[in-house]
């Protein structure tokens, strides 16, 4: 665990108060978080000593209230083992009590709480208790490495949660959905400082994208560059240098947020809004797309004279690049946090989308 990643996770879990939307998913402070994760680890180890739980084997695409099926007995047993289902009813009937237990499990794994057991939920429920123990241990190791929390405005993007959190001091102000890198183009975890907002940005297309995506498209369509707002500004290392002009087709959308780093990662708007409704949002080349970029710009410029919401909207639609320096650098942290306990005392797990937990768990096992 590097100091950079440790600091990043500190920033993510430091909230101790609710935002305006009273999100109960906000993690508790570091000291309480460690104690509660330790309790959960001991509870899961106890479950393991008792034999854990058996995988649910069903033949239907989904299970919901009022259905009757042998797999429902297995679902009840699985949720009873993890403490989500308290009823003594072990019949094959999908009862209202089971639906409530399923909703609790869905919240734990970040699913829509509709009380329906479908394939994605079954996948998470069928993870072994040993898998969850390792996941808890990995996140506790991350917690142990945390330095003191920094005060002031800070931005924390948590990759497995697909969320950007905005903090002011220890207050969680708001959050928004994000899109992160694909498994082939992983978003890197690191810590830096945001210094600029760029409205109506150009996009200087990285050479790798030019080679793998732009050139093949150009060969199949001579008008590809023109149709998509691209211009060639030169040639470098045998590849055309491509820039996309500001506008509705620009891949960066109407605004980008810069925190210069060696990974060439930044936050930006996107014209592909529909992707924010997908649960597993791993679609980018590594940069982080924001669901509500105007809201973030308004917050960061709230104390800067002249930058009203109307002025920001005008700059985003101007079609001419405008660089704005922030009055002070804002800490930005990209984190990878897959287990936490929220303000209501519920344990949360998220998918290990990049396989980082698996690697760190193996390292812990070798110690």
What is residue 217's predicted lDDT score, i.e. its pLDDT? 94
CA distances from 262 to 5, 204, 259, 338 (A): 15, 16, 10, 25
CA distances from 74 to 59, 299, 327, 349 (A): 12, 48, 58, 21
Comparing 305 with 4, which gets the higher pLDDT? 305
**Selection from 353, 355, 352, 208 nearest residue 285 by Cα:** 208
Convert the pLDDT of each residue in 44-98 to its tens digit.
999 999 999 999 998 999 999 999 999 999 999 999 999 999 999 999 999 999 9
Q: What is the pTM of this model?
A: 0.86
Average pLDDT, the chain: 89
For residue 24, is pLDDT > 90?
no
**Selection from 117, 78, 83, 111 nearest residue 99 by Cα:** 117
Determine the Cα–Cα distance for residues 155 and 11; give it in Å rounded to an integer.
8
Determine the Cα–Cα distance for residues 279 and 54; give it in Å rounded to an integer.
26
DSSP state of 335: E
The mean pLDDT value for 219-229 works out to 91
What is residue 26's predicted lDDT score, i.e. its pLDDT? 58
The pLDDT > 70 percentage for the chain reads: 90
What is residue 130's predicted lDDT score, i.e. its pLDDT? 96
What is residue 146's predicted lDDT score, i.e. its pLDDT? 60
Structural domains in the chain, sorted by start: 56-119 (1.10.101.10), 179-186+194-329 (no CATH)
Residues sharing a CB contact under 8 Å with residue 85, sequence separation 6 or more, in sequence order: 76, 79, 97, 98, 101
CB 286 within 8 A of CB 265: yes
What is residue 22's predicted lDDT score, i.e. its pLDDT? 40
CA triple 279-283-289, angle to 5 deg: 90
What is residue 87's predicted lDDT score, i.e. its pLDDT? 96
Convert the pLDDT of each residue in 270-325 to its tens digit.
999 999 999 999 999 999 999 999 999 999 999 999 999 999 999 999 999 999 99
Alpha helices in 50-94 (DSSP H): 70-81
Record the tokens describing residue 190, joined without a space: 């690191």
Determine the Cα–Cα distance for residues 317 and 246; give it in Å rounded to an integer.
9
What is residue 199's predicted lDDT score, i.e. its pLDDT? 98
Residues sharing a CB contact under 8 Å with residue 16, sequence separation 6 or more, in sequence order: 28, 29, 170, 171
The mean pLDDT value for 107-115 works out to 96
């Amino acid at each position: 665990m590097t100091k950079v990643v440790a600091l990043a996770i500190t920033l993510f879990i430091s909230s101790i108060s609710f935002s305006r939307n009273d999100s109960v998913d906000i993690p508790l402070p570091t000291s309480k978080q460690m104690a509660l994760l330790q309790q959960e680890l001991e509870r899961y180890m106890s479950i393991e000593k008792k034999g854990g739980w058996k995988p649910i084997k069903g033949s239907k695409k989904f299970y919901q209230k009022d259905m009757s099926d042998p797999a429902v007995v297995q679902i009840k047993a699985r949720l009873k083992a993890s403490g989500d289902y308290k009823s003594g009813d072990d019949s094959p009937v999908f009862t209202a009590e089971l639906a409530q237990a399923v909703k609790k499990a869905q919240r734990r794994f970040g699913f829509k709480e509709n009380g329906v057991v479908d394939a994605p939920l079954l996948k998470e429920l069928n993870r072994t208790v040993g898998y969850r123990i390792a996941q808890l241990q990995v996140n506790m190791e991350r917690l142990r490495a945390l330095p003191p929390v920094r005060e002031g405005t800070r931005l924390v993007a948590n990759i497995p949660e697909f969320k950007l959190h905005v903090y002011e001091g220890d207050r969680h102000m708001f959050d928004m959905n994000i899109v992160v890198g694909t498994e082939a183009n992983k978003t890197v975890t690191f810590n830096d400082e945001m210094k600029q907002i760029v409205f109506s940005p150009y996009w200087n297309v990285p050479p790798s994208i030019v080679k793998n995506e732009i050139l093949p498209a150009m060969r199949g369509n001579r008008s590809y560059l023109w149709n998509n707002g691209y211009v060639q500004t030169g040639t470098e290392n045998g590849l055309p240098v491509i820039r996309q002009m500001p506008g509705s087709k620009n891949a960066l959308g109407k605004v980008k947020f810069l925190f210069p780093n060696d990974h060439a990662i930044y936050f930006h708007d996107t014209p592909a809004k529909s992707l924010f409704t997908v649960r597993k949002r791993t679609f980018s080349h590594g940069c982080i797309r924001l669901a509500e970029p105007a809201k973030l710009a308004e917050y960061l410029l709230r104390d800067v004279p002249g930058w009203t919401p109307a002025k920001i909207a005008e700059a985003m639609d101007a079609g001419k690049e405008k660089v704005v320096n922030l009055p002070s650098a804002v800490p930005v942290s990209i984190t990878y946090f897959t287990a936490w306990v929220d303000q209501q005392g519920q344990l949360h797990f998220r998918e290990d989308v990049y396989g980082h937990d698996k690697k760190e768990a193996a390292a812990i096992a070798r110690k």
